[in-house]
Amino acid sequence: MTTVKATPDNWNRKLAPYRQPEDRRSLFEIAVTAAPFAAIWVIAWLLFRAGLWWAALILTVPAAGFLVRLFMIQHDCGHGSFFRERQANDWVGRIIGVFTLTPYDYWRQTHAIHHATSGNLDRRGLGVIETLTVEEYRALSPLRRLGYRLYRHPAVMFGLGPAFVFFLLQRLPVGLMRAGWRPWLSVLGNLIALVVGLAALIWLFGAAPVLIVNMTTMMLAATVGVWLFYIQHQFEGAVWSRDRDWRRDEAALAGSSHYALPPVLRWFTANIGVHHIHHLSSRIPFYNLPKVLADHPELSELSRVGFWESFRCARLALWDEAARRLVSFREARAAGV
């Protein structure tokens, strides 16, 4: 990974030409994502009913890839960057949210908080992976230290965690439960649509094919999604700051990674790896992000994390304020924690 000093350099003006979505292109991206996804699921359900359950489960792998891409389209809709009209963004986002088990309006609000506070040590809250400083971890009781260590363990973070978040946690507007009726409407509306949709599919194809294929697909997609979210902000060289020193552009360019994925994975993840530019200007549609890199090559090496290199970042768990970097539990222990 290469880390370069991030400066504002009038990026708002430079990136303005890339922010305008093209509705035809957006419709095309939905078609080439949703149609194969639906076809794979139907084939998998039929194979399962025919007794070829192993073939059906194999198909959940590509299905999960297309579901991840659908989530990224929903993500762009949440930023108002996928269509020109807000209503188009919102209704496409809500429909996709039924398949991704993500209440669109509730998620959009928590995700906006994430963008407004990312990399700010004094404003950690909704929409983030909990990260303690070394001093905060040191001040915990032994039992709470154990709890945090379990939370940060890869088997929990990328195994149990995705299932908990998508199947259970997002069934309530956690963090916004006292923010009025809108978050509740979003969550309950998503749940009702999900139940109705599942009931119709079970009536057509049977309970076992639908539930096993759908849940396996969702688990695979959720795990990939949590990993992507993790590596976007938990990487060697990431910059975090206290509120007094926090600057939006620096937090975007130096606190969000450029996850350099192979071309096929870039397509399935809808260029979300170009996350530093996304945080710098969230209104840029995902299909315009490669254009930004091509036209501004100085951004390409900023906070760059390679595919194989990224797996070493799973050990990072604490922010060392003295060293100004993320460290592992082992490194914190060697420093006297």
CA-CA distance, 274 to 184, in Å (whole number)?
32
pLDDT at 13 over 90: no
Mean of per-residue pLDDT scores for the chain: 93
Number of structural domains found in the chain: 1
CA-CA distance, 104 to 203, in Å (whole number)?
26
CA-CA distance, 255 to 119, in Å (whole number)?
6
The count of other CB atoms within 10 Å of the CB of residue 108 is: 22
Point out the least confidently predicted range of 23-27, 86-90, 175-179, 188-192: 175-179
Do the domain assignments include residue 213? yes
pLDDT at 178 over 70: yes
Do the domain assignments include residue 108? yes
The reported pLDDT for the residue numbered 278 is 96
The reported pLDDT for the residue numbered 124 is 86
Query: Where does the pLDDT of residue 335 fall: very low under 50, low under 70, confident under 90, or very high at 90 and above?
Result: confident
Do the domain assignments include residue 196? yes
The 10s digit of each residue's pLDDT in 19-76 is 999 999 999 999 999 999 999 999 999 999 999 999 999 999 999 999 999 999 999 9
Identify the H or E element spanning 243. none
The reported pLDDT for the residue numbered 12 is 81
Query: Where does the pLDDT of residue 152 fall: very low under 50, low under 70, confident under 90, or very high at 90 and above?
Result: very high
Do the domain assignments include residue 327? no
CA-CA distance, 245 to 317, in Å (whole number)?
22
The reported pLDDT for the residue numbered 6 is 47
Do the domain assignments include residue 202? yes
Give the residue-averaged pLDDT of 302-320.
Answer: 95
The 10s digit of each residue's pLDDT in 245-301 is 998 888 999 999 999 999 999 999 999 999 999 999 999 999 999 999 999 999 999
The 10s digit of each residue's pLDDT in 96-135 is 999 999 999 999 999 999 999 999 999 987 778 999 999 9
Query: Where does the pLDDT of residue 136 fall: very low under 50, low under 70, confident under 90, or very high at 90 and above?
Result: very high
Side chain identity at residue 237, one-letter code? G
Output the pTM of the full model: 0.94
The reported pLDDT for the residue numbered 3 is 46
**What is residue 160's DSSP assignment?**
I
Paired tokens of 305:
């994390």
The 10s digit of each residue's pLDDT in 197-209 is 999 999 999 999 9
Do the domain assignments include residue 103? yes
Do the domain assignments include residue 256? yes
Residues 6+ apart with CB under 8 A from 229: 129
Do the domain assignments include residue 1? no
Phi/psi at 258 (5° precision): -105, 95
The reported pLDDT for the residue numbered 337 is 56
CA-CA distance, 332 to 326, in Å (whole number)?
10
The parent domain of residue 285 ranges over 12-132+155-306
